[in-house]
Structures are given as C-alpha cells and as structure tokens.
Structure 1
Amino acid sequence: MSVQGTPDELVEILRETVVSLVRRDGPDLSARQLGVFLTVYLGEGPHTVRGLAEALNIGKPAITRALDRLEEFKLARRKINPADRRSVHVQRTTRGAALLREISVTMAEAANPQRTAGTPTGSQQGLKP
C-alpha cells in the first residue's frame, strides 16, 4: 500500500485519527495495544504471542498484557491451538472488525483535503504542533 503526503500531512492524519478514537464512546487503547490490534487485524494469521512479540520487537509479557486489554474490550480473543495445546492463537472478533472499519473511515476522512477545507487545523485551534 502506498500512502502519499508530506510527513506533516501524514502526522496530521494520525493526529486526527487518534483524537477521534479518544473522543468516541468506546475502548481507550494505548499505543502498544493499538499496535497489537492492528498487527492482528492487518497481518496474515494465525497470530501467536511469540509471533506478535517478534513482529513488534517487544517482550511476550507486554503482548500478553495488551491482549488482556483487547480481550477485555472484546477486540480479540485467544484460543488454544488444538494441534499444539501449548500454543495460543490470537483471533479477530466482530467488535474488533467494526473498530478497524471505524479507524479506516476516520483516516480516510482525515486524508480527504476537501473535508478539511476551511476547518481549522490543530495549530489553528490553539493546539501545539
């Protein structure tokens, strides 16, 4: 996937997306939890704790804590691998798929320059860049 825009434009899209997620009535995910969530939903599965830890270059305990939170919000679930009961697969959920669609729509809206024409940017609203 090719994303176009200047670094400042891309950061603004990210800012608008994160602000939208914070303002919505729903789970408030940390950057790490969001990273795990997006890796599960956008990456080729099946996903394991070990595989996620390697993909994100963080420890397995951090992945476990993030998955605990994602499960609490019903955004992911863990299931024992029937072929190897020591291994746990991380699975997507309907609620998680809905959040991913919401994030996608929010980012698309933020990336659409016509939508933001005439709308004050963060710095124009008194927010520090």
Structure 2
Amino acid sequence: MPLPGTPDELMALLHETVAALVRRDGPDLTTRQLGVFLRVYVYAAPHTGHDLALALNLPDGAVSDALDQLCGAVLVRREANALDARSVLVQRTVKGAALIREIRQIMREAISLPPAG
C-alpha cells in the first residue's frame, strides 16, 4: 500500500508518533510488541501466533513472548481456536482498540504540524 509523502516525511511522522507514545501514560511497548500489536489491529482477523510469526518473519517464540506482554497489558487476548486445538487465536480488546484510536490521533496531529527545521 503506497503512502503519500517522501521517506523523510514518513520518517518524521514515525518519529513524532513514537515520541508521543513514549511520553504517554500507558504500557511502554518494545518495537517487537508494537509490531505484533499493529499486525493484529491493522490487518483482518483471524490471527494465530504462528500466522503472526510468519507475517512478521519472526520465530514463534519471539511472537509468543510479545503476546505474553500484550496480554498482560490487556491490549490483546488469546482465545481457544475451535478449528485447531494446537493453536490459539489472538483477539482485539477494548483497551487495544483505544490505543489504536490514540495512535491514529497522534498521527493526524503530527501530519498537521509544520515541518521541523
């Protein structure tokens, strides 16, 4: 999905977004946790841990560790997979949906800022 803007403009947007996230009162997500979280919220469900690992090109264990932290922060939840007892489905939560709305708002505000420099 192509995005408007130059790489420098997109980098500035990423910086403003991450800076706002680290200043906010809430869970301090690692880059990996944020990547897993965004994959769950930006792309259509269903998501299994293994599917997330494949999509992000990460080991299953790394995704499982990230999911442990995200579940602990109540940003996602695991649910039994009725179609495959060996896997779990990763579900969105109300708290996670609120964080996505907050990230979108941060990005909207960053887009409207005058260029730095």
> CA separation in 1, counterparts of 2:84 and 2:15?
41
Identity of aligned residues (%): 55
Q: Which residue of 2 aligns with 1:79?
A: 79
Highest Rg: 1 or 2?
Answer: 1
1:55 and 1:84 map into 2 onto residues whose CA distance is 19
Query: Structure 2 stretches of 5 or more lacking a match?
Result: none
**In 2: Cα distance, 1:31 partner to 1:83 partner:** 31
- The list of structure 1 runs, each at least 4 consecutive aligned residues, that deviate by more than 6 angstroms after superposition, is none
Q: Which amino acid aligns with 2:24?
A: R
- Give unmatched runs, 5+ long, in structure 1: 125-129
Give the match for residue 21 of structure 2. Answer: 21
The CA deviation at 1:82 is: 2.2
CA distance in 1, matches of 2:12, 2:83: 45
TM-score, scaled to structure 1 = 0.86
Number of paired residues?
117
Q: Check if 1:111 corresponds to 2:111.
A: yes
Aligned to 1:93: 93
> Could you report, residue by residue, the CA deviation over 1:62-101 in whole angstroms, capped at 9, with x for unpaired residues?
0000000100110000011123221200000000000000
Cα shift at 1:111: 1.1
Where does residue 32 of structure 1 map in the other structure? 32
**How much has 1:2 moved relative to structure 2?**
4.2
Shift of 1:57: 0.3
